[in-house]
Chain A
Amino acid sequence: MVDFSNEPTMKGFFAPTRFEADVYDCEVIGRVPTELNGAFVRLGGDWLYPPRFDDDSPFSMDGYINMFRFKNGIVDYKGRWVKTPRFKADLAAHKQLFGKYRNPFTDDPSVRALDRSVQNTTPLAFAGRLFTLKEDSLPYEIDCNTLETVGPYNFHGKYKSLTFTAHPKVDPVSGELICYGYEATGLESNDVFLYTINKQGEVTRELRFKVPYVSMVHDIGLTQKHVIIPVFGFVTSMERLKEGKVHWGWDSTKPAYVGIVPRDGEAKDIRWFKGPERATVHTLNARTEGEKVILEAPIYDSNPFPFFPPVDGSKWDPTKAKAYIRRNTFNLASKDDGFTEEKLFEMNVSDLGRVDDRYLTMPYRYAFTAYSDKQRPFDQWKAGNLGGRVNNCYGRFDLATGRMNSYFAGDTHSLQEVCFVPRKNGAEGEGYIIGMASNYAEMRSELVIADAQHLEEGDVVRVILPFRATAQVHGRWVDESDLPFA
């Protein structure tokens, strides 16, 4: 029996959708730029069955991949579940067999031998293949035309970590993929395996090292010379897991560590810098300037996720769960293990920020992310009252001038993660921003596309879906030439 009626936050716009869909030649408002050829691929989660435990994390939702395919000004939509062994086992049993986030001790005994990953975080197109990523397992390969699940992928057996990050970086200069797995040898292991994979998809380098304490290493920074590894706050232990708790808890006494290792270095070359309590879940960009390594990221003061509660039993503090765009500077010439931190903008933003990926690892000027502008109108009569939680704007943050340009989605809408699509041969920031808007008045999702250099002018085009699309964690633009599209 499928029954979501007892879950107060899974109603209205936020109810599970639970269907697969094809929409051919989507309705559009405006004109789709014909230079946009490729696909906007989104990955997120939906509940096939209700969670087994009330206090489980939304990161346990079943993976759902969907794609807006752009070709010659026409847009088709396709959405499919990621059909993992977990999905299939649940479907066969007609119920949720899997327990709390990354805690196999809470699973039904019948599925203890199965891969329990849900593949719900980031899509990746690399070496001619499309993957779904979830940081607790290997990538899953997906057929880029049908979105059907092919299965786990280990780069011809050369990728040895049991896990694969949701945030690998593609070096725009070499085309290499820099990726890693943490808890690489199993639950509660402090092993990290860092890999370089060439653009043909062959593993060319592996570096194994250990982190100061077992923690979530969700994202990294990459420069032309260094890899930056943030470790912060979240802790786990086998005792905790055997007690039936969710994988992570937050320990505010743990310092934030940032490891810096040369891309051609060994484990002994890692420098660990130490700072105050912070949460660097996602990064924007990084660069090496002489002896200085600079990381810019939307960084939280403390724990952003109430479903990974404080280990000391205190109450989760929403006032510290706000991300600000900050710059961390690490001086490799210094013998000190500290680093400097600057807040670049005083306004808090969504931590799902992006840059023009052609400038990844290098000096750059623009960052893009969503934020909430309380001065903009919100039509509660039509949309309902979100309690002011709406991310109604995308901002282009100019790190050179400190200025910000803004795109407003509308007075009944909120925005999910932004993505930047560069114009071919254009300068930095020349192109489009693209992202999914939730229309709370019409109970539908809309893909918004705006000129990144003229955000105040609003949409260039809006692609209308006649239903709610599943919630996204991350979305990526994939150029026509990057995958064997039909």
Chain B
Amino acid sequence: MPENHRSAALARRDFMGALLGAAAALRMVRLVPLAAAFPGVSSRPVVSFHLDRPYLDRSGTALPYYPPPGARSAQIFSNLDEESVRRKHCYL
């Protein structure tokens, strides 16, 4: 095989290999959820902060914002029924 033909064949083989590898990689990305591929990253949107402003990060990869202790301090009652609350706090 002439040298130039051999080089072309090797280039085609490398190209096809790279193409198949890329396709396989893309297929993996489609099949494996992001959260499973990268433990610790949420697949759901999270509220985060950037430059002191809140924003919704749809990728779920940003650091979620949790209010500091004290803020939203009434939240503990949000899922309690009236009886549960008034059993302990009859005059809020």
Q: A residues engaging B (CB < 8 A)? A: 7-14, 55, 58, 304-307, 315-316, 318, 321, 350, 352, 380-387, 389-391, 414, 416-417, 438, 440-443, 471-473
Contacts and interface: CB of A to CB of B under 8 A. Distances in A.
Interface stretch (B13-21, B25-33, B37-45, B82-90): B82-90
Nearest to B92: A414
A58 B73 contact: no
B66 interface: no
Contact of B69 (A8, A321, A443): A443
B76 interface: yes
A440 B74 contact: yes
A303 to B, nearest CB: 11
Given A318-B83, A382-B72, A7 B91 contact: no
B75 A385 contact: yes
A384 to B, nearest CB: 3
8 contacts: A8-B84, A12-B72, A384-B77, A384-B78, A385-B75, A385-B78, A389-B77, A441-B72
A177 to B, nearest CB: 25
Q: Is the interface of B mostly helix, strand, loop or mixed?
A: loop
Nearest to B84: A9
A166 B74 CA distance: 29
Contact of A9 (B73, B75, B88): B88
Nearest to B88: A9
Nearest to A391: B92
Given A58-B89, A443-B69, A471-B89, A384 B74 contact: yes
B91 A416 contact: yes
B65 to A, nearest CB: 11
Which of B70, B82, B92 has the most C-beta atoms of chain A within 10 angstroms of its own C-beta? B92
Contacts of A440: 72-74
A416 B73 CA distance: 16
B84 A13 contact: no
Interface of B: 69-78, 80, 82-92
The 7 closest A-B pairs by CB, nearest first: A384-B75, A443-B70, A384-B72, A13-B73, A385-B78, A384-B74, A440-B74
A11 B70 CA distance: 10
B77 to A, nearest CB: 5
A383 B71 CA distance: 6
Contact of A442 (B70, B77, B91, B92): B70
Contacts of A55: 87
Contact of A383 (B74, B84, B91): B74
B32 to A, nearest CB: 35
A354 to B, nearest CB: 14
A410 B82 CA distance: 23
Given A306-B87, A391-B92, A473-B91, A9 B72 contact: no
B76 A306 contact: no
Contacts of B78: 384-387
Contacts of B69: 443
A13 B72 CA distance: 9
B76 A58 contact: no
Given A305-B90, A384-B77, 6 more contacts: A9-B88, A12-B75, A384-B71, A384-B76, A442-B70, A472-B91
A383 B76 CA distance: 11
A302 to B, nearest CB: 13
A471 B89 CA distance: 9
Contacts of B91: 350, 352, 416-417, 471-473
B44 to A, nearest CB: 19
A9 B87 contact: yes
Given A321-B86, A389-B85, A442-B70, A8 B92 contact: no
B88 A384 contact: no
Nearest to A59: B90
A12 B76 contact: yes
B83 A306 contact: yes
A11 B92 contact: no
Given A384-B78, A387-B80, A438-B92, A305 B73 contact: no
A413 to B, nearest CB: 10
A383 B87 contact: no
A473 B74 CA distance: 19
B73 A8 contact: no
A440 B92 CA distance: 12
Contacts of A438: 92
B74 A58 contact: no
A412 B73 CA distance: 10
A10 B87 CA distance: 11
A417 B91 CA distance: 8
A8 B86 contact: no
Contacts of B83: 306, 315-316, 318
A352 B90 CA distance: 11
Given A306-B83, A443-B69, A12 B74 contact: yes
B88 A416 contact: no
Given A307-B87, A389-B85, A9 B92 contact: no
